[in-house]
Amino acid sequence: MTRIAFIGAGSVVFTQGLLADLFDLDLGPLHIALHDIDPERLDTAAAAASYLAQGRPVQITAHLERRAALENADFVINIVQVGMNEATKIDFEIPARYGIRQTIGDTLGVGGVFRALRTFPVLRGLAADIADVCPDAWLLNYTNPMVMNVWFLKALGVRNVVGLCHSVYWTMHGLSELVGVPYEDVTYLAAGVNHQSWVLRFERGTENLYDRLDEAIAADPELLRRVRVDMYRRLGFYPTETSEHSSEYVPWYLGHASEVDRLRLPIGAYLEIVAENLASYEQTRSALKAGEPLTVDPTMEYAPQIIHSIVTGTPRTVYANVPNTGLITNLQSGATVEVPSLVDATGVRPTAVGDLPPQCAALNRSYLNVAELTVQAAIDQDPRAIRQAVMVDPATAGTLPVEQIWALCNDLVVAHNNYLDPSLRAALK
């Protein structure tokens, strides 16, 4: 029986989608072990899982204690969000007082840095538990900031850790639709870092579909009002994450009101997503209590596909976030990079891509500088490294002078005090 542990299973809507995908695959008997620290959310997740598992050879258990859920797990799916909605609001509200505009705030920038710092203590405990009770398990991480979290977990010695994100897949679906070619007919290659990978090849047979994309952009001036179209026109390669995300990793857009207007950037968009997720959770909880049916759409996420390939030996290719062991030769060694990866019974095997185009690698290196310093802050327990990470963040550095960056970090350290490592909680002059 394959045992799959969900850490942060109280993210009920996402948990449901992953479970629905898993239950539709031929995996044989399953043991789904759900863990969350919120009893009500855990109960809701367990009820939803039991509903979805009806008629299948699936055992569902719910655990408030993490180690019990991890015991003898073959796979661990991490979807924790430390601090939940209130912490997210802090990540937006305090920077906004300093004039920092954010759209999503979960990957880079001051929001990404502090989301990582409050997640790292939980990841440290998770890594220790995995080493004790399921050292050979595959840890499939969905929690953002992806690059920082996978980098940190690998530094802690987790043997089999892979970061998963759907951005490349859905970007290619969107591009295929834009150029009028069925996705199934498209061949593509992307690589870079999570939320800032680049479409290096975009083809149908011998046809370069970038030519069709250029024609589509020329025919529709409104496309020029998308950040990633703007980036593509200037850099020559299309970025694999939404315009809202992409705007946060460079200094050119959010710091300028005219660009926010030109490119229709939704400041604070993630707060609306948080509200929608909360409403979806309440709808699920109410439906379960009333005995009403649940409607769960397939997610096409990678975790169920990876589990299926490893369990059954069925080969497939996914995009994975893994340590850079010579995979992208002009990015930092050891950093977390996003590359196509073959999955089969032997596990996840990343593909070496070589050099990225220099302009793309330059932006990725700026991104990775922030991630590296944030990870180093936690490893070395160095509060100065937190400030240095935010100092080198492109969007923050393009908006604030250094004294205000330190003051902003001091305010956020105080606001998130309960979640941070004790040695990182002090305000610094």
Q: Is there a domain that residue 288 lies in? A: no
Residue position matching structure tokens 């929001």: 111
Is 158 in the same domain as 60? yes
Answer whether residue 69 shows pLDDT above 90: yes
Answer whether residue 102 shows pLDDT above 90: yes
Question: Can you read off the two tokens belonging to residue 383?
Answer: 């509060």
Closest CA to 394 of 46, 10, 60, 100: 100
Is 304 in the same domain as 419? no
Annotated binding site for substrate: 144
Give me the pLDDT at residue 334, please. 96
If one counts the domains in the chain, the total is 2
Give me the pLDDT at residue 276, please. 85
Contact between 339 and 185 under an 8 Å Cβ cutoff? The reply is: no
DSSP-based three-state secondary structure for 417: helix
Annotated binding site for Mn(2+): 165, 195
Contact between 149 and 141 under an 8 Å Cβ cutoff? The reply is: yes
- Would you call 425 exposed, middle or buried from its count of C-beta atoms within 10 A (0-12, 13-18, 19+)? middle
Q: Is there a domain that residue 235 lies in? A: no
Q: What pLDDT digit, counting tens, does each position of 162-192 carry? A: 999 999 999 999 999 999 999 999 999 999 9
Give me the pLDDT at residue 97, please. 97
Is 67 in the same domain as 150? yes
Q: Is there a domain that residue 227 lies in? A: no
Report the DSSP beta bridge partners of residue 162: 140
Closest CA to 49 of 316, 288, 264: 288
Domain that holds residue 305: 2-163+295-312
Is 307 in the same domain as 386? no
Taking the C-alpha atoms of residue 333 and residue 377, their distance in angstroms, rounded to an integer, is 18
Is 27 in the same domain as 141? yes
Give me the pLDDT at residue 230, please. 97
Q: Give ∠ CA 347-378-364 in degrees, rounded to 5.
A: 60
On average, the pLDDT of the chain sits at 95
Taking the C-alpha atoms of residue 324 and residue 328, their distance in angstroms, rounded to an integer, is 7
Q: Is there a domain that residue 201 lies in? A: no
Q: Is there a domain that residue 390 lies in? A: yes
Closest CA to 294 of 276, 277, 281, 275: 281
pLDDT band with cut points at 50, 70 and 90 for residue 429: confident
Give me the pLDDT at residue 13, please. 82
Q: What pLDDT digit, counting tens, does each position of 347-380 carry? A: 999 999 999 999 999 999 999 999 999 999 999 9
Which residues are CB-contacts of 194 (< 8 A; sequence separation ≥ 6)? 107, 146, 147, 163, 165, 167, 321, 336, 338
Contact between 87 and 60 under an 8 Å Cβ cutoff? The reply is: no
Is 373 in the same domain as 308? no
Q: What pLDDT digit, counting tens, does each position of 374-402 carry? A: 999 999 999 999 999 999 999 999 999 99
User: Is 166 known to be catalytic?
Assistant: yes
Is 307 in the same domain as 366? no
Taking the C-alpha atoms of residue 223 and residue 178, their distance in angstroms, rounded to an integer, is 10
Answer whether residue 7 shows pLDDT above 90: yes
Q: What pLDDT digit, counting tens, does each position of 214-251 carry? A: 999 999 999 999 999 999 999 999 999 999 999 999 99
Residue position matching structure tokens 């045992």: 3
Cα Rg of the chain (Å, integer): 21
Q: Is there a domain that residue 277 lies in? A: no
Which CATH number fits the domain that encloses residue 114?
3.40.50.720
Of 166, 256, 308, 416, the catalytic one is 166
Quote the DSSP letter at residue 382.
-
Closest CA to 110 of 91, 125, 124, 129: 91
Q: What is the pTM of this model?
A: 0.96
pLDDT band with cut points at 50, 70 and 90 for residue 121: very high
Question: Can you read off the two tokens belonging to residue 368?
Answer: 């990775």
251-275: b (≥16 Cβ within 10 Å) or e: ebbbbeeeebeebebeebbbbeebe
Answer whether residue 294 shows pLDDT above 90: no
Give me the pLDDT at residue 40, please. 94
From residue 221, how far is each of 65, 193, 242, 304, 412 by CA, in Å? 54, 29, 18, 39, 40
Question: Can you read off the two tokens belonging to residue 292?
Answer: 């009403």
Annotated binding site: 144, 165, 195
Give me the pLDDT at residue 295, please. 81
Answer whether residue 416 shows pLDDT above 90: yes
358: number of CA atoms within 13 Å, CB side? 0
Answer whether residue 10 shows pLDDT above 90: no
Answer whether residue 277 shows pLDDT above 90: no
Answer whether residue 273 shows pLDDT above 90: no
Q: Is there a domain that residue 115 lies in? A: yes
From residue 174, how far is each of 192, 200, 240, 244, 351 by CA, in Å? 19, 16, 10, 15, 24
Question: Can you read off the two tokens belonging to residue 66?
Answer: 């993490």
Q: Is there a domain that residue 334 lies in? A: no
Is 300 in the same domain as 415? no
